[in-house]
Amino acid sequence: MQKVILLGATSNISRYLIPMLSRETDAQITLFARRAQRRLSEYQNDFRISVVEGDWNNLKDLNSAIKGQDIVYLATGHFIDANKNVVTAMKNNHVERLIVAGGLGIYDEVAGKFGQWNARMMGDYTSIKRAAAIIDASGLQYTFLRMSWLYNQDNNYQYEVVPQGQPMKGTQVTRQAVAKLITTIVKNPKMYTTQSIGVVEPNTEWDKPSFY
């Protein structure tokens, strides 16, 4: 039985990912977050789910939580120090498999008018690119998800994967679809290893997302 830890388990994607992992896998799930006992109280009586208080800026917290895990999911890859800590804790505990939820644009791969709009909206990418580079250079079996602009839509699980080096044109993708992709990777851990992949909703190649 796999053991999966969600770092940042109160994130908007985790809201959909936790029940999906519980429903579609037999994994033992650890939910790691600040004030987790209060914020994730609905999961405290689930025998397959452990709720752990912690801060990903605290290496001691991470070392304790990651020990014995098989797969680590990091709810955002945008923070330099947090990424360094996660990589260090995984290496300290000989855990190799990492899935990171990140954003598009770190390789200047967003194309056309959408790319221009995205650049205006996002501003300076310097720190986000540096944070992503830590994952790229980690030596771990990582999958970095470069997600397009996120929104919620029940029962919309449509996504397509854009390999690194190809332009990203899809403007949006649902959090439900991203949760589905992460669940698929958990069930098939060899998928997309050591890859940074774009994640977009098919047929959304517009000038900007539909909700802007």
Rounded CA-CA distance 130/135 in Å is 9
Predicted confidence band at 65 (pLDDT cuts at 50, 70, 90)?
A: very high
Residue 105 clears pLDDT 90, i.e. is over it: yes
CB 99 within 8 A of CB 182: yes
Torsion of CA 108, 189, 174, 169, to 10 degrees: 30
| pTM, to two decimals | 0.97
Q: Give the pLDDT confidence score for residue 179 in this predicted structure.
A: 98
Rounded CA-CA distance 15/43 in Å is 12
**How do the domains of the chain map onto residue ranges?**
3-200
Alpha helix stretches (DSSP H) within the chain: 14-24, 36-39, 59-66, 80-92, 112-122, 126-136, 175-187
Give the tens place of pLDDT for each residue, 12-64: 999 999 999 999 999 999 999 999 999 999 998 899 999 999 999 999 999 99
CA-based radius of gyration for the chain: 17
Token code pair at residue 54: 């912690």
Q: Are strands 195-200 and 160-162 parallel, antiparallel or unpaired?
A: antiparallel
Rounded CA-CA distance 109/39 in Å is 36
Phi-psi region of 5 (alpha: psi -120 to 50; beta: other; left: phi over 0): beta
Phi-psi region of 26 (alpha: psi -120 to 50; beta: other; left: phi over 0): alpha
More reliable by pLDDT, 160 or 125: 160
Predicted confidence band at 111 (pLDDT cuts at 50, 70, 90)?
A: confident
Cα within 13 Å of Cα(100), Cβ side: 33
Share of the chain above pLDDT 70, in %: 100
Residue 1 clears pLDDT 90, i.e. is over it: no
Token code pair at residue 67: 């020990």
CATH architecture of structural domain 3-200: 3-Layer(aba) Sandwich (3.40)
Token code pair at residue 199: 């994640």
Alpha helix stretches (DSSP H) within 14-166: 14-24, 36-39, 59-66, 80-92, 112-122, 126-136
Rounded CA-CA distance 84/94 in Å is 15
